[in-house]
Amino acid sequence: MRTINIAQQFTLTPGARYYTDGPKSGQEFYDVLLKKSFIQSLEEGVKLKVILDGTDGYASSFLNEAFSLLGNEFGDDKVWNNLIIISEEVPKYIDKVKKSVYEKRK
Amino acid sequence: MKKGNKLWFNVIWFLAGSFTCYITLQYTFFEIDAKLNIPETLISIGTAIIGLYIANTIQKRLTKNQNQYTYVEGKLDAIWAGFNNFSQGVLYNDSIEVNVLSKYSKEAIHSIGFVKSILISYELNVTCVSELETELESFEAYLLSLPISANIISTIQSKSDVEGKIVSLNQCFAKVLKLIHNI
């Protein structure tokens, strides 16, 4: 299993949606870390564990951008079946991630 | 009151008390019956025990409800106070950092979820809590839809909208408080 710990590998203070909104955006997280790790986990035939705990909190747009990009790029069911989201501090983030994965982008 | 006046005052009340006792003792029901009436005594004891049991049960229920009320009300107070601080910051400044918003949302979402679970366990209708939860999430999404640069949200162009949403959220908090008062 591959693991991404956002607090340790990306930032303690995630930003908003787009690069234009400022540093450490959802788009940046997708490009820099999430997409690559997901591809590697698919190649290795293992699941990708994403740990959301440890940060100051997430803007809903950050999670939505990163995970809706992933879902639309690789297919919603395929993404959701290969992800393990850990969010013990705010379990509701898991629901937000799931909704984002299944969201159809225009 | 002077010492002499106090003495006369006490003497008058003593005489009045003695007179009242004398009058009342003239009635037969104050006479003590030396014979023991077993059935009446048992009925009296039984009635007293039932009375004590009822009083104790009611008191326990009142105490339990009071504890639940105090606990949940304390939680809601903390969330509302947090929202108040956050919203005042949004209103007085013309901008807000994304990080401050995320931090507040994290605390608020988690805490309201907790209060909701407690109220569900009390078998109360939690529609207004769900409404508050949804409104808070919508407010966060609304703020994130405003112009953002360097992770700072500019609220200057939308002050009146923001103010309206804050008023609406405060009304939601008031509804939840009313629900807690029904515990």
Q: For residue B152, what is the domain's CATH number?
A: 1.20.120
pLDDT tens digits for range B56-84: 888 887 777 777 778 888 888 889 999 99
Residue A47 lies in a domain: yes
Domain span at residue A59? 2-101
Distance CA A20, CA B95 (A): 17
In Å, how far from its chain's centre is CA B87? 24
Residue A44 lies in a domain: yes
Other CB atoms closer than 10 Å to residue A3's CB: what's the count?
15
Complex ipTM: 0.88
pLDDT tens digits for range B119-137: 888 888 888 889 999 999 9
| Alpha-carbon distance B81 to nearest alpha carbon in chain A (angstroms) | 19
Residue B2 has pLDDT above 60, yes or no: no
Q: Do A56 and B99 touch (CB under 8 A)?
A: yes
What is the pLDDT at residue B32? 62
Of A21, A23, A56, the CB nearest to B103: A56
| Mode of pairing for the β-strands spanning A48-51 and A2-5 | parallel
Of B102, B104, B140, the CB nearest to A14: B102
- Chain A residues within an 8 Å CB radius of B107: 57
Residue A74 lies in a domain: yes
Structure tokens, B159: 């002050």
- Chain A residues within an 8 Å CB radius of B109: 90, 92
Contact at 8 Å (CB) between B153 and B146? yes
If one counts the domains in chain A, the total is 1
Domain span at residue B146? 64-181
Residue A16 has pLDDT above 70, yes or no: yes
Residue B165 lies in a domain: yes
